[in-house]
Amino acid sequence: MSLESPAAAERAFYTAFEQGSVDAMMAVWADRPDITCVHPLGSMLIGRQAVRESWLQIFLDASPRLFEIETVSTLYSPETAVHTVYETITIPPNGPRFPPIIATNAYRRIAGRWYMVLHHASPFAAPEDDAGSPMIRH
Residues that bind a second copy (CB under 8 A): 17, 34, 36-46, 50, 54, 57-58, 60-61, 65, 72-75, 77-80, 82, 84, 86, 89, 98, 101-102, 104, 106, 108, 117-118, 120-125, 127, 130-138
Q: Are 69 and 14 in contact (CB under 8 A)?
A: yes
Shortest distance, CB of residue 4 to a second copy, whole angstroms?
Answer: 18
CB of 28 or CB of 45, closer to a second copy: 45
CB of 7 or CB of 82, closer to a second copy: 82
Bridge partner list, 114: 109
CB of 60 or CB of 94, closer to a second copy: 60
CB of 10 or CB of 54, closer to a second copy: 54
Q: Are 115 and 107 in contact (CB under 8 A)?
A: yes
Shortest distance, CB of residue 72 to a second copy, whole angstroms?
Answer: 5
Shortest distance, CB of residue 15 to a second copy, whole angstroms?
Answer: 14
Shortest distance, CB of residue 129 to a second copy, whole angstroms?
Answer: 10
